Structure 1
Amino acid sequence: MVTELYDSPHQFEPLLPRQAKLEPLLTQAHDLSSAALAMSAQPAPKELRALLRAMNSYYSNRIEGQHTRPLELEQALKHDFSADTKLAARQRLALAHIEAEAALEPHFMGDVGLCALYKPASLAQLHRELFARLPASDLHTDEGENLRPGQLRSREVQVGRHIAPAAASLPALIERWGSVYGGVRRGEASLVALAAAHQRLGSIHPFIDGNGRVMRLHTHLALGALGYTQGLWSPLRGFARSVDRYYGLIAAADEPRRGDLDGRGNLSEAALVDWIAYVLETCIDQVRFMSGLLQLPAMEGRIAACLNFEQTSLKSGARIEALRPLHYLFLSGTALERGEFKRMTGLGDRTAVSLLTALLKRGLLASDSPQGRVRFGLPLHALRFYFPALWPEAEADVAQAGG
């Protein structure tokens, strides 16, 4: 049986639920907004945001089944790539995601940035930023077809049971997608819109490959543009930890409506509502989890536990006397002159120099130059102390490596 391809915007309705179905979702969105804005005011070191970018990359690629182990990702950040060609390609892809996220975030800030995110050119930009960083040898699909960064697909595709709309209709579909979601009023309604936009972008399937990564990057950037993340959380972790539900709800929202009580559009309104509720629930869960980890009174004890382990078990040269300056660096999110850091330890100069050297070697301090100011460091091996269960796979990787 030949299936007729969708080729018209009305075939993807509803893009948003009716008002009667919106109220519970807006309540969820309000809860998310309140929790996220409260957390965004908490201080956090630069290195935490950098680590979360790496974690976002790991989880987005894990959803696609193409992830590297966290330690392999850490090696890629040092441009130390595996001799295994397939693993090296995954490392490059992971690194490209990190770099793309960092490059795009400053371009999509505030109301102007959010509006721009729904423009067709911005979708192409996201895809291009993700894939144009890769060498030509990496730019091909599993079927061996060339991947062209930023270019819409020119042929028909089917992904699982989902048959994507006709390639010729993509410009009109993307234009409709952007005009509806980009035109939603700011506030709670925009959170509902970005959740729905994630699913409907997958339905449109604008690119020959990389659509899932673009969808998740778009959602991450939209949340940031609204001022809700400050680089401190992302739904990608939650999506990856409920991946079967993630894919199942995306697929269900592509199904035809389930009778006369299921909205007035071509597709199921009930399934779209379920998807939006899942996204908002996932975001709330991630905000609450991260808020708990960033509780300032608990952080001092976690730093102390890490230093005690370094001093008594590993004998790395780190000492508990570093607690005061390290805690200060975490709270302030700033950097200290090396002399000031040493003074805050209360140790003699020679001992303080040795301590500073050990902390830098272990990554517990970071600096941009051999004599430069120092800031709070966040190596993977310290995660189990500083932010337990934030990235369990990284903790397991470090434990397996004996770190």
Structure 2
Amino acid sequence: MYSSPHQFEPILLSERQLETVIPLSERIVTTSVKLSAATHATTRATLRELVRQMNSFYSNRIEGQSTHPRNIERALHNDFSDRPDEARLQRIALAHIEAEKELEGLANDDGALRSAFLIDAHRALYERLAPDDRVSDDGEVIVPGQIRTRDVQVGRHVPPTSASLPAFLQRLDQVFGGARGWERVLIHAACTYHRVAWVHPFLDGNGRATRLQSHCALWKLSEGLWSPSRGLARSTEAYYAALHNADSPRRGDLDGRGNLSAQGLLEWVQYFLGVCEDQVTYMSRMLALDGIKQRIEALVIFRSTQDKGMRREAILPLVHIFGLGPVTRSEFAQLTGLRERNARSLLSKLLATGLLVSDTPYGPVRIGLPLDALGMLFPCLYPEAGLPV
């Protein structure tokens, strides 16, 4: 039985190991900083909302409790299924989105990797669920933000005793509470993810809480435009293998000085950072203006062949709004070059299809990202959204 924090050392990579992953971490930071300046703030806000939906879908899919992206979108509009099981999955997805948004607002300092934030993440998620929606596999109602009070076994892994959890969490705070510099924060986030999963501080919801913590720890770097959850869920075999390897005991005298494998932890960090690099690189490629212009053009041309209300004159204003932000309705008409009546008709079509969004009937219009357009606008970003419900 694990009962002392020395039993999950090493918690952090050695200096020699750090040298092998710092270049990868630096690339992620550089690419992410450039990404944040790639689009208008309003477009970034729209993308951020989409990423939250994706995070909810992918994080819950890892737990085997995902619902279709269109059902998530319906839940956001208070439209829940008549089927109890499906409605429960919708409520779980919605709770994840709302919790993530709340937690992003709390991630304004270096405290997101502390155990208090992890507990807040668990609380923020589960307090949004009724007791019937937060029942564990063994029928126990999960208390939001409560550290487990009994011992458990997770597969072949037996986490630390419940009585020793405060000491383990305190040790994590000592190591990860004051990370400085995004290159190091990324590495600390990777190490925290595994060691928290190994400690298993809650009866249930450990994976979800840990992914919320990781997302928020990196939020000021990513600005919510990318997140590890998508990559973790899309490489589940490698994900579980890397987690399992990092659980391994020390593999001999050349494998560090702690109880657990230093090499296994390094392999997990390399996997986690590889996922982050893949996510930020993909989003950078998708948000490059030349590429998005071509894909908007392709989408409008395709839809114009299917719907007479969609006209090619929509291309220029859509590209303009994506890159430079909202426009007034009169500015939209000018960008189309159409007569007033035809411009109003085209605007109505774009609003009806969700490619443009407005907060009021006569207010400015901004870019929208409806699920049925993602396959052409951002190929492979969220392919599950295009599958039949």
Asked if these proteins are the same fold (TM beyond 0.5), I'd say yes
Q: Return structure 1 stretches of 4+ with deviation > 3 angstroms.
A: none
Match of 2:316? Answer: 324
- Counterpart of 1:152 in 2: which secondary structure? coil
* CA distance, structure 1, for counterparts of residue 359 and residue 169 of structure 2: 43
User: Alpha-carbon deviations, 1:60-91, whole Å to 9, x = none?
Assistant: 11111110111111111111111111111111
Deviates more, 1:55-64 or 1:317-326: 317-326
* CA distance, structure 2, for counterparts of residue 77 and residue 185 of structure 1: 36
* CA distance, structure 2, for counterparts of residue 299 and residue 355 of structure 1: 20
Match of 2:164? Answer: 169
Instruction: State the percentage of identical aligned residues.
Output: 48
> Retained in 2: the 8 A contact 1:162–1:251?
no
The answer as to 2:66 corresponding to 1:67 is: yes
> Retained in 1: the 8 A contact 2:113–2:189?
no
Task: Find the partner of 1:278 among 267, 271, 278.
Answer: 271
Shift of 1:151: 0.8
Equivalenced residue count is 386
Shift of 1:312: 1.1
The answer as to 2:38 corresponding to 1:42 is: yes
TM-score (norm 1): 0.93
> Retained in 2: the 8 A contact 1:32–1:283?
yes
Match of 1:222? Answer: 217
* CA distance, structure 2, for counterparts of residue 89 and residue 199 of structure 1: 29
User: Alpha-carbon deviations, 1:101-150, whole Å to 9, x = none?
Assistant: 111112212xxx22x21333222211111111112221211211011011
User: Alpha-carbon deviations, 1:169-221, whole Å to 9, x = none?
Assistant: 11111111122012333232222111000000101111111100111111111
* CA distance, structure 2, for counterparts of residue 187 and residue 72 of structure 1: 36
Deviates more, 1:92-101 or 1:338-347: 338-347
Q: RMSD across aligned C-alpha pairs, in angstroms?
A: 1.4
Partner AA of 1:295 in structure 2: A
* CA distance, structure 1, for counterparts of residue 179 and residue 130 of structure 2: 38
Unaligned runs of 5+ in 2: none
User: Alpha-carbon deviations, 1:288-335, whole Å to 9, x = none?
Assistant: 1111111111211211111112211134x2211111211111002x32
The answer as to 2:96 corresponding to 1:100 is: no
* CA distance, structure 1, for counterparts of residue 198 and residue 332 of structure 2: 54
Match of 1:83? Answer: 82
Match of 1:33? Answer: 29
* CA distance, structure 1, for counterparts of residue 182 and residue 297 of structure 2: 40
Match of 1:308? Answer: 301
* CA distance, structure 2, for counterparts of residue 118 and residue 237 of structure 1: 20
Shift of 1:38: 2.0
Partner AA of 1:223 in structure 2: L
TM-score (norm 2): 0.96
> Retained in 1: the 8 A contact 2:333–2:340?
yes
Shift of 1:394: 1.2
The answer as to 2:128 corresponding to 1:133 is: yes
* CA distance, structure 2, for counterparts of residue 322 and residue 335 of structure 1: 14
Task: Find the partner of 2:118 among 105, 110, 123.
Answer: 123
Match of 2:192? Answer: 197
* CA distance, structure 2, for counterparts of residue 221 and residue 381 of structure 1: 28
- Counterpart of 2:185 in 1: which secondary structure? helix
Shift of 1:371: 2.2
Match of 2:350? Answer: 359
* CA distance, structure 2, for counterparts of residue 184 and residue 305 of structure 1: 45
The answer as to 2:347 corresponding to 1:347 is: no
> Retained in 1: the 8 A contact 2:115–2:172?
no
> Retained in 1: the 8 A contact 2:39–2:323?
yes
Shift of 1:370: 2.1
